[in-house]
Chain A
Amino acid sequence: GAVVSQHPSWVICKSGTSVKIECRSLDFQATTMFWYRQFPKQSLMLMATSNEGSKATYEQGVEKDKFLINHASLTLSTLTVTSAHPEDSSFYICSARVYGYTFGSGTRLTVV
């Protein structure tokens, strides 16, 4: 079945640094990837829709300059959290629209 590989699984970084999260579609081409954020004990919240070869579409309230999304190829989408702060600590998950919407394994980001 369709597999989305997400790296890293977890990352701890210092406040003010940037962190890049990658999502790769391993056995299919993903023209569209969705990026979600999940706070503890809460549901997934869509942050942005990443489209191959064009600019991402951000949901209301999501700072596009802070959460940079790049989808340069049909198999890779990246989310960069720039100048991370402790309030950015969260669980970030990507998803591609194949049957059932395949999810990456998620990245737990902790900013200290």
Chain B
Amino acid sequence: EDKVVQSPLSLVVHEGDTVTLNCSYEVTNFRSLLWYKQEKKAPTFLFMLTSSGIEKKSGRLSSILDKKELFSILNITATQTGDSAIYLCAVSPLDAGNMLTFGGGTRLMVKP
């Protein structure tokens, strides 16, 4: 059974801090790993990672995948209160109809 584990479960930091969120996975026939940010409603897409060692970057957010060690990290630098959200990691296998298996999420709170 595919498994995605995120850590930490929750995190409280102050504005300006840098945070690293972790996602480890066990999945047969890995296709891709995706990161989402969820505030009050539906998740919004951040990154999709398919290749090891290639960092994806968007503003203060960046992410990288290690397919050998089966994990990914999401970094947020110079955090702002607007970064407060649940960050979800999901993996997509090659088969199984393209469905996503989600991790439990990391709840990030950024204090002013």
Chain A residues close to B by CB (< 8 Å): 6, 32, 34, 36, 41-46, 49, 57, 93, 95, 97, 99-106
Known: A42-B104, A43-B102, A43-B104. A93 touches B97 (CB 8 A): no
Q: Mark B90-112, 1 if CB is under 8 A from A, else 0.
A: 10100001111111110100000
Query: Which partner residue on chain A sits nearest B10 by CB separation?
Result: A41
Q: Please, how many residues of chain B have a CB less than 8 angstroms from a CB on the other chain?
A: 20
Taking a contact as CB atoms under 8 Å apart, the answer to whether A101 and B100 are in contact is yes
Determine which of B45, B97, B103, B105 lies in contact with A101 in the assembled complex, contact meaning CB atoms within 8 Å. Answer: B45
Can you name 22 A-B pairs with beta carbons within 8 Å?
A: A6-B42, A32-B98, A41-B107, A42-B104, A43-B88, A43-B104, A43-B105, A44-B43, A44-B88, A46-B100, A46-B102, A57-B97, A97-B98, A99-B48, A100-B45, A101-B34, A101-B45, A101-B100, A102-B45, A103-B45, A105-B41, A105-B42
Q: Within the assembled complex, what's the spacing in Å between the Cα atoms of A104 and B35?
A: 16
Query: With A and B bound together, what is the CA distance between A58 and B43 in angstroms?
Result: 22
B63-100 CB mask vs A (1 if < 8 Å, else 0) is: 00000000000000000000000001010100001111
State A93–B42 Cα separation when bound (angstroms). Answer: 7
Most interface-central of A34, A44, A102 (chain B CB within 10 A): A44
Minimum CB–CB distance from B83 to chain A (whole Å) comes to: 19
- Contact flags (1/0) for B40-59 with A, using CB distance below 8 Å? 01111100100000000000
Q: Which residue of A lies closest to B103 (CB)?
A: A43
Instruction: Return A95 CB to nearest CB of chain B, in Å.
Output: 7
Please tell me which one of the listed residues A32, A41, A46 contacts residue B101 in the complex, with CB atoms under 8 A apart: A46
B88 with A46: CB separation less than 8 A: no
